[in-house]
């Protein structure tokens, strides 16, 4: 620019295009800085997006793993509960059979006891009746003997 200043203007006088040229250089520099900042921001965001994608993938994998584990645990729990229920039903049925058997045995024992007591009562009644008959016979015999002894005297 200095070469063109000698024809009309003096060396001390600024060229009329110098201030706009400086403004354009400053704007160009600012644009380059903004582009660099924008590219850095884009790269930063791209890195963050990539990190977030990786994190999302890790979380998806963890969720799938946890979901599978929970399904496995639930399935095992259902099987365990089914087995426990089956065992309890079996135990209950065994208890019912045992109770019915015990009740039958108790009933049989009561029937035997009632029969034994009836037989004992009948035996006692027969024994008492026999004893009574014997006593009456003995009494009658004694009366006869006493009557005979009275006649003899």
Q: Decide if pLDDT at 16 tops 90.
A: no
Whole-number Cα distances in Å, 41 to 30, 34, 37, 44, 45: 16, 10, 6, 5, 6
Mean pLDDT of the chain: 89
pLDDT at residue 104 in the model: 96
Q: How many residues does the chain have?
A: 153
Would you say 53 and 39 are in contact if contact means Cβ atoms under 8 Å apart?
A: no
Q: What is the pLDDT of residues 36-93, one digit of tens each?
A: 999 999 999 999 999 999 999 999 999 999 999 999 999 999 999 999 999 999 999 9
pLDDT digit string, tens, across residues 87-121: 999 999 999 999 999 999 999 999 999 988 888 88
pLDDT exceeds cutoff 50 at 6: no
How far is Cα 69 from Cα 25, in angstroms, rounded to an integer? 65
Give 18's pLDDT tier (boundaries 50, 70, 90): confident
């Amino acid at each position: 620019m200095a070469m063109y200043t000698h024809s009309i203007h003096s060396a001390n006088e600024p060229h009329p295009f110098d201030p706009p040229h400086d403004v354009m250089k400053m704007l160009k520099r600012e644009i380059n800085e903004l582009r660099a900042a924008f590219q850095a921001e884009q790269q930063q965001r791209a890195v963050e997006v990539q990190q977030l994608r990786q994190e999302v993938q890790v979380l998806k994998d963890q969720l799938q793993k946890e979901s599978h584990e929970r399904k496995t645990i639930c399935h095992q729990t259902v099987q365990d509960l089914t087995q426990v229920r089956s065992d309890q039903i079996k135990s209950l049925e065994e208890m019912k059979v045992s109770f019915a058997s015990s009740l039958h045995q108790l009933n049989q024992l009561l029937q035997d006891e009632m029969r034994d007591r009836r037989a004992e009562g009948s035996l006692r009644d027969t024994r008492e009746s026999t004893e009574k008959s014997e006593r009456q016979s003995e009494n009658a015999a004694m009366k006869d003997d006493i009557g005979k002894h009275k006649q003899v005297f």
